[in-house]
Structure 1
Amino acid sequence: MSDVLELVDVSVVRDGRALVDEVSWSVKEGERWAILGPNGAGKTTLLNVASTYLFPTRGTAHILGERLGGVDVFDLRPRVSMAGIAMADKLPKSQTVLETVLTAAYGMTATWQEDYETVDEDRARAFLDRLGMSDFLDRKFGTLSEGERKRTLIARALMTDPELLLLDEPAAGLDLGGREDLVRRLGRLARDPLAPSMIMVTHHVEEIPPGFTHVLMIRQGKVLAAGPVETELTSRNLSHCFGLPLVVEHRGDRYTAQGLPLS
């Protein structure tokens, strides 16, 4: 399998501070990665490099076989999709859910024509159905709940048929029901052999969907562990990552973590 992402000694420095520090990491085609770490660890910085919107200060980054700095990113970006709060803020709240997803096929954030290709409308409806949003096609994007908005953004990200799908804290701000519904749907997507390679940022092991194959743990800009989730998502590694004693439990196809009682 070829690498969809390869970072070699990548550092991103801002105002003299390394947001990520000499990170070497590769993601192969078909893998599904969860990035875990505390606030300020560098998780979103890694995602922004993978999205081609942030260039390393030092080191080299190859995305889908192309080296950042040696390729026109405008040719590369349609092959990478990100779903996150930053995109939600750019989308018109007055658009319908269907329009919000449909415009991604044309590289737009807002509607610009009355009629779209039938094949694109069918694809948008199919992705929304997959994310449980079929009953919301005519709802205004600005009236959606947080969970409904997150599912719409993921459907939108899939509209470009990306080779790499980036998810920036997709379950953040959701209640228990919203989180579990989203995790279940992401798990079904992760298990689809035709789905793109995936990288998801999260703070919580409970949000790692079934079907995710690998985990990377980062703290203060440095990678502490990276590899198959079965071997790397351990109590020892997670405790080191978050700086306190934690116990990881694996139940079925999900993970939980909790702190040890204070003595």
Structure 2
Amino acid sequence: MSTVVIRADDVDVVRDGNLLLDSVSMTVRSGEHWALLGANGAGKSTLLGLLGAVTHPTRGTVQILGRTLGRVDLRELRSHLGHINPRHPLHSPLRVREVVLTGLTNSIEPVPRWSPTAEQVARAEQLLTMLGMGGDKAGSRWPTLSQGERGRALIARALMPSPRLLLLDEPATGLDLAAREQLLSSLDTLRGEHPELATVLVTHHLEELPASTTHAMLLRGGQCLGSGPADEVLTTDQVSKCFDHPVLITRTEGRWAARAERVSPR
């Protein structure tokens, strides 16, 4: 039986007098894979900040892994989450496996006088292999990697503490077609091999959704326009309303595509 990983009830977020989220509710259970979609300024990053225990709501309640924001140490709670930022601020020429192992210490650089166990090193290698970054790639220096390779390495890093929730903030940003497809294939593989893992992925583009996506939420102007099973939410009508533009939504072999519908001249 699936368990509730996230429960947000009637959440408002106000910053500098601006209402960024307006009565947003969301429940994510183990094994579910959510997509958050909307135009720029829709509130996606704000909501992800709540789900990642980075910020507090102004009103409403957010429970993550059974813990209520405002009644728990955010830093401690974040140690139980996998949060993937494609703009990982690493400047040292670490090897890929070293970067992955920093997921255990929740640090950008290796912690002085800390050494991983043989089991932890083996887990890092296993995750890298699953994500297509094993073998010689595991020994590559970070500056030599492509953006797509970095993205897959960061997923392995986020998985090192065995989190129950994985948050992906526009993971396909800046990737070319081949790198994007490799990333999405890796996510499908990951979800298949970790059936209890819950994920939330933020994107602007339906083409960046893995076929394993199960649920979706559409945000516009800080409000939820639709939330639930992906095929019920990602429809031509609802996505057109979300982006305020007529688009035709199709799904083929599990993958979504959107194209502008022809608008007849008046």
TM-score after normalising by structure 1: 0.95
How many Å separate the matches in 1 of 2:126 and 2:91? Answer: 22
How many Å separate the matches in 2 of 1:192 and 1:17? Answer: 42
Give unmatched runs, 5+ long, in structure 1: none
Give secondary structure in 1 for the equivalent of 2:5.
Answer: strand
- Residue by residue, what CA displacement relative to the aligned partner does 1:79-105 show, whole Å, maximum 9, x if unpaired? 11100135x01x343211110001211
Percent sequence identity is 42
Code of the residue aligned with 1:166 in structure 2: it is L
Q: Which contiguous aligned blocks of 4+ residues in structure 1 show a shift greater than 4 angstroms?
A: none
State whether structure 2 residue 124 is matched by structure 1 residue 124: yes
State whether structure 2 residue 111 is matched by structure 1 residue 101: no
CA contact (8 A) 1:188 1:211 kept: no
How many Å separate the matches in 2 of 1:85 and 1:145? Answer: 12
2:255 corresponds to which residue?
Answer: 254
2:73 corresponds to which residue?
Answer: 72
CA contact (8 A) 1:147 1:178 kept: yes
Task: Map 1:35-50 to 2 at 5 A.
Answer: 35-50=36-51
Distance apart, 1:114 and its partner CA: 7.4
1:165 corresponds to which residue?
Answer: 166
CA contact (8 A) 1:92 1:110 kept: no
Code of the residue aligned with 1:214 in structure 2: it is H
State whether structure 2 residue 137 is matched by structure 1 residue 133: no
CA contact (8 A) 2:166 2:197 kept: yes
Distance apart, 1:116 and its partner CA: 2.4
- Residue by residue, what CA displacement relative to the aligned partner does 1:88-139 show, whole Å, maximum 9, x if unpaired? 01x3432111100012113332122474211111111111111111132222
How many Å separate the matches in 1 of 2:194 and 2:142? Answer: 30
How many Å separate the matches in 1 of 2:193 and 2:60? Answer: 33
Instruction: Give the stretch that moved more between structures: 123-132 or 186-195.
Output: 186-195
CA contact (8 A) 2:251 2:257 kept: yes
Instruction: Give the stretch that moved more between structures: 232-241 or 67-76.
Output: 67-76
1:177 corresponds to which residue?
Answer: 178
State whether structure 2 residue 115 is matched by structure 1 residue 110: no
How many Å separate the matches in 2 of 1:66 and 1:116? Answer: 29
How many Å separate the matches in 2 of 1:57 and 1:115? Answer: 41
CA contact (8 A) 2:52 2:78 kept: yes
Give secondary structure in 1 for the equivalent of 2:139.
Answer: coil
Distance apart, 1:230 and its partner CA: 1.6
Distance apart, 1:211 and its partner CA: 1.4
Aligned residues: 261
Task: Map 1:1-263 to 2 at 5 A.
Answer: 1-86=2-87, 88-89=88-89, 91-111=90-110, 112-113=112-113, 115-134=115-134, 135-263=136-264
CA contact (8 A) 1:226 1:232 kept: yes
CA contact (8 A) 2:86 2:173 kept: no
TM-score after normalising by structure 2: 0.94
Give secondary structure in 2 for the equivalent of 1:19.
Answer: strand
- Residue by residue, what CA displacement relative to the aligned partner does 1:50-86 show, whole Å, maximum 9, x if unpaired? 1101111111111111110112223322211100135
How many Å separate the matches in 2 of 1:141 and 1:187? Answer: 24
How many Å separate the matches in 2 of 1:262 and 1:103? Answer: 51
Q: In structure 2, do the counterparts of structure 1 residues 99 and 113 end up closer, same or farther at CA, with 3 Å as the change threshold?
A: farther
How many Å separate the matches in 2 of 1:190 and 1:234? Answer: 24
CA contact (8 A) 2:7 2:26 kept: yes
Code of the residue aligned with 2:106 in structure 1: it is G
Q: In structure 2, do the counterparts of structure 1 residues 164 and 114 end up closer, same or farther at CA, with 3 Å as the change threshold?
A: closer
How many Å separate the matches in 2 of 1:176 and 1:105? Answer: 31
Code of the residue aligned with 2:102 in structure 1: it is T
